[in-house]
Amino acid sequence: LLLNRCCAVLGCNMTSKAMGVFVPSKCRETALKLSRLNAVTHLQNSADEQSIPYFIKDNFAVVDMPLTCASGALRSFISPYSSTVVERLSEKGFKPIGKTNLDEFAMGSGTVDSCFGATVNPWSFNSCEGDDFLVTGGSSGGSAAVVAANIVPFSIGSDTGGSIRLPAAFCGVLGFKPSYGTISRHGLVPLSNAFDTPGVFSRSMDIIRNVFEVLTDGDCNFDSTNDTSILDRSGIPDDYKFRIGIPSEYHVSGISFEMLSYWEQTAQVMESIGWEIVPCSLPLTNQVVPCYSVLSSSDVSSNMARYDGIEFGTRIKDGDHATFDLYKETRSQMLSEHVKGRIFSGNYFLLKSNLEDYYITALKVRRLIAEDFKRCFSENHLDALLTPVSLDTAPLYSEFVSKDLREQTEVQDVLINAANLAAIPAISFPVGLSLKKLPISMQLMAPLGKDFRLLELTRRISSEINFDYTELDNKLARI
């Protein structure tokens, strides 16, 4: 059924000559990719030749399209308006042709906790035995998968604690999280208001820069959730030699030998083109995960209160429920165990007896972590920091689901939460393949507001590394 639906939608004048993405002869091939990946939750009814197509994560509002957040609680909700991100892109000729899968309410790091099922990493094809597959990472795994499969030139996701950079790393594409607040969050269903950041996936640095320019165009601000005045738009000379820091604390326990090897090789490539590599320190790195966990869970418990079957969410209609029973039954049946666990944690941290010890303390630690980054950048005169994104390559689904949420958090979040706490821009970019022919990626983080400098820096080093997609394209050709 999904395959037929994909064919019907993608065959509707989807030629997009400007980007060379869809042509009628490849319609069924593209539809087959989508159905096999389980990356798409909804497809738009039509598109046209003049529009440049993209997919957007199913926690962004698009008028007259379902907005489910991959949750049973919102499965029947249709958005009455579009997010600012969608409106800005539409003004420049970009059209969302569908919504992509995610972990429920963007809570997760695998895109496996979805009412639509898990999304399959495109690198899985002809790489896994039986029914097992590689996870995409989360929570924006669907958006990463459609770009990795070369179905669209770019897609939109959201990054709260690494939810763009981790899927980008596991799927071998570019994933950019801008400085917090530079892109409007209006129309993005909130997970954690303090960290949520819209961002972009693509195989091309030029496309990422172009999309970011559209979303931050000019000096004006589009609504109360963004402020583009912090962006430094000054140019960079072609012969400029960047200064890159290597934080010693990111040599964390459990990181694979291959990841360390590519980290060193990437630094060597930078040195070979005249850039300076500088050892540096971020002493509060070990406080990042607990600080993020307290603050994000606290935001979650507040934001999720609206899904009670009355304000928002599917209402349980069996029998005549008193108000309290209605809340209980609706939230018990419509929300996953993962989501309910976050709500419980956040409510605990926000109890009057615990507020000072947990939430207020975490706010203070967040400020110290942000100052830690400012000091590191300024004292060492750094343009960016180079670190891995993950401890290893994309895990198998069977391996991923065998671990509980706490274990997954410790494994997946240790290298990526810090950029959200410090509100700084960060990007994941592929640098090579492991012995198992799976993508390995590195992360670059820059000072607050230096987004365009970070994009230019990444463009230059990516062109030197020149990651080859032939291995992935060959896998996809055999679907």
Q: Which residues are catalytic?
A: 57, 139, 163
Cα separation, 260 vs 431, in Å, equals: 12
**For residues 66 and 96, is the Cβ–Cβ distance under 8 A?**
no
Sequence-ordered list of residues with C-beta below 8 angstroms from that of 405, at least 6 positions apart, any chain? 338, 341
Q: Starting at the edge strand that comes first in sequence, how are the strands of the sheet with 439-445 ordered?
A: 40-43, 94-100, 52-57, 154-159, 197-202, 174-177, 426-433, 439-445, 384-388, 243-247, 276-280
Cα separation, 414 vs 361, in Å, equals: 20
**For residues 79 and 60, is the Cβ–Cβ distance under 8 A?**
no
Residue among 450, 55, 403, 32 at smallest CA distance from 235: 450
Q: Write the secondary structure of 88-132 as one string of H (helix), E (strand) and C (coil).
A: HHHHCCEEEEEEECCCHHHCCCCCCCCCCCCCECHHHCCCCCCCC
Cα separation, 60 vs 192, in Å, equals: 14
Residue among 97, 13, 88 at smallest CA distance from 55: 97
* Prior bond of 139 cis (ω within 30°): yes
E-strand ranges in 154-268 read 154-159, 174-177, 197-202, 243-247
Cα separation, 204 vs 225, in Å, equals: 28
**For residues 190 and 60, is the Cβ–Cβ distance under 8 A?**
no
Residue with tokens 């240790």: 414
Task: Give the number of C-alpha atoms closer than 13 A to the C-alpha of residue 33, restricted to the C-beta side.
Answer: 24
Cα separation, 334 vs 307, in Å, equals: 9
CA quadruple 216, 222, 227, 229: dihedral, nearest 10:
60
**For residues 198 and 160, is the Cβ–Cβ distance under 8 A?**
no
| Residue 232: C-alpha distances to residues 218, 219, 385, 453 (Å) | 12, 11, 18, 8
